[in-house]
A and B are shown apart, each in its own frame.
Chain A
């Protein structure tokens, strides 16, 4: 039954409570940094821009005093991807790709070769993914889920000037977080109950339709129970005239002026790096 014990290690965030300049930042500043680095990592015209984002992410991790081994662990899977994508690029070729061949097998087969263009694609995939992994790892380590949700609510409330949508967003994400351990516990209960009745969840058949049908005894009760729980909670809240308006909330210290400057600086630096990448690097690095 060891394989059914999955209720205990459920977590989305990975907050690490240490004192560091990064942890001390106002949640808004943390979000701003996350936004800037991700935008640069994902949309920079070339992998040089994404590389800059990667460097900034490493700097942020160092400033947050996070254990480097932990921060770098997700990067391991990048190794397989690098090998896999190089293989894929080697086997397939892009139409109209006339760039220099780095590696080729035979001269007549254009397909079985690795060109400079394809190397650029692989570099771009790996660098962008590495930057995103480090950034999200850094972000989820320095902010708690509650803080993150609260700051999103505050931001939406200010941006939209309509507290209902902001409150809806906060309510739904808070509900999801609260419900996850409950649902995971129910999932475990139902899996065990059905397994004790001999349910195989489709492991004894190859037919995909039969497999999906064998999943019904697990999937239907879990979902129905979740819906029932939601119904019960909604009824209780509506009976108490819950509207989301006029509620008290935890006071959050206002964002210091120096951190507003930091946010502005980060936005400007992102725009500048993006522009440099577009005008200076792009002519040199043709793909991406």
Chain B
């Protein structure tokens, strides 16, 4: 049975369970303070969408999209029922909170697949960065489209926050995916980087 499944790729049961587990990671990060890396002046870098990118890179576009959708719906419900701040008000619209997140994992998968032949590590870094940028561009774009914020403000948020966020997402995606692949092939063990 194992060989059968290897021939046809991973089974849908496996894919859906991985999607469920990674969705839970992003929901858990979202519901605890650890989904944000605090930066300066109250601005924070969000990393909650990174599991969607990881899912996309590891298991394909469907898994990435599903994780993004579940995370997006959770953030939609939370934004509406227990808003944390003013920006949550805009996340009550699925165009802002759900659709961009679905595309995050798909974008990550696309980039990782395109760069697979070139350099895997670079592919994972690029997938993380592009996935994160997809999120920022689409969320900010939706906010501009809904006339919630002017284009000038969206552009400055993009420069100030999203580019740094993309770097953070790239590092985390590459860290997790290479650690997981290392475990899978039994070549190297995962280790904690820069603990000091």
Q: Quick one: CB contact mask for B73-93 with A, threshold 8 Å, 1 for yes? A: 010111011111110111011
Per the 8 Å Cβ criterion, residues 63-108 of A in contact with B are 73-74, 76-78, 80-81, 84-85, 88, 92, 94
Residue A157 interfacial (CB < 8 Å): no
Are A92 and B153 CB-contacts (below 8 A) given A132-B80, A171-B17, A226-B25? yes
The distance from the CB of B12 to the nearest CB of chain A, in whole angstroms, is 6
Residue B18 interfacial (CB < 8 Å): yes
- Return chain B residues, CB-CB under 8 Å to A180: 24, 27-28, 31
- Nearest chain-A residue to B37 (Cβ)? A211
Residue B192 interfacial (CB < 8 Å): yes
- Nearest chain-A residue to B93 (Cβ)? A42
Segment touching B, from A215-223, A248-256, A262-270, A278-286: A215-223
Partner of B78, one of A6, A12, A94, A191: A12
Tell me the complex Cα distance, A135–B93, Å: 12
Segment touching A, from B101-109, B114-122, B176-184: B176-184
Q: Quick one: CB contact mask for A197-225 with B, threshold 8 Å, 1 for yes? A: 11101110010111111111111111110
Tell me the complex Cα distance, A242–B171, Å: 36
Partner of B193, one of A121, A191, A217: A217
Tell me the complex Cα distance, A85–B147, Å: 10
Partner of B76, one of A136, A179, A234: A136
B86 engages A80 (CB within 8 Å):
yes
Residue B54 interfacial (CB < 8 Å): yes
Known: A73-B82, A208-B164, A209-B167. 6 other contacts (CB 8 A): A42-B95, A81-B89, A92-B152, A137-B80, A173-B70, A222-B25
Residue A174 interfacial (CB < 8 Å): yes
The distance from the CB of A54 to the nearest CB of chain B, in whole angstroms, is 12
Q: Quick one: CB contact mask for A269-280 with B, threshold 8 Å, 1 for yes? A: 000000000000
* Residues of B participating in the A interface, judged by any CB pair closer than 8 Å: 1, 5, 11-14, 16-25, 27-29, 31-34, 37-40, 45, 47, 50-51, 54, 58, 66, 70, 74, 76-78, 80-86, 88-90, 92-95, 146-150, 152-153, 164, 167-168, 171-172, 175-176, 179-180, 183, 190, 192-196
A77 engages B83 (CB within 8 Å):
yes
Tell me the complex Cα distance, A3–B180, Å: 30
Residue A144 interfacial (CB < 8 Å): no
- Return chain B residues, CB-CB under 8 Å to A14: 81
Tell me the complex Cα distance, A218–B171, Å: 13
A224 engages B14 (CB within 8 Å):
no
A175 engages B20 (CB within 8 Å):
yes
* Residues of A participating in the B interface, judged by any CB pair closer than 8 Å: 3, 6, 10, 12-14, 42, 73-74, 76-78, 80-81, 84-85, 88, 92, 94, 121, 124-125, 128-129, 132-133, 135-137, 140, 164, 168, 171-180, 182-184, 187, 191, 194, 197-199, 201-203, 206, 208-224, 226-227, 229-231, 233-234, 237-238, 242-244, 287-288
- Return chain A residues, CB-CB under 8 Å to B34: 187, 191, 201, 218
A-B contacts, 20 of them at CB < 8 A, read A12-B74, A77-B83, A77-B84, A80-B86, A88-B153, A128-B93, A132-B93, A133-B83, A140-B77, A174-B20, A176-B23, A191-B34, A197-B195, A213-B171, A220-B176, A226-B22, A230-B20, A231-B18, A238-B1, A287-B147
A77 engages B77 (CB within 8 Å):
no
Are A238 and B83 CB-contacts (below 8 A) given A6-B33, A12-B77, A179-B24? no
Partner of B25, one of A178, A183, A203: A183
Are A220 and B40 CB-contacts (below 8 A) given A42-B94, A140-B77? no
- Return chain A residues, CB-CB under 8 Å to B171: 209, 212-213, 216
Are A217 and B192 CB-contacts (below 8 A) given A88-B150, A136-B81, A172-B23? yes
B28 engages A187 (CB within 8 Å):
yes
The distance from the CB of B133 to the nearest CB of chain A, in whole angstroms, is 15
B86 engages A243 (CB within 8 Å):
no
Tell me the complex Cα distance, A288–B58, Å: 42
Tell me the complex Cα distance, A132–B85, Å: 16
Are A85 and B148 CB-contacts (below 8 A) given A176-B27, A211-B37? yes
Tell me the complex Cα distance, A212–B193, Å: 11
The distance from the CB of A92 to the nearest CB of chain B, in whole angstroms, is 4
B148 engages A214 (CB within 8 Å):
no
- Return chain B residues, CB-CB under 8 Å to A209: 167-168, 171
Tell me the complex Cα distance, A146–B109, Å: 31
Partner of B83, one of A74, A172, A183: A74
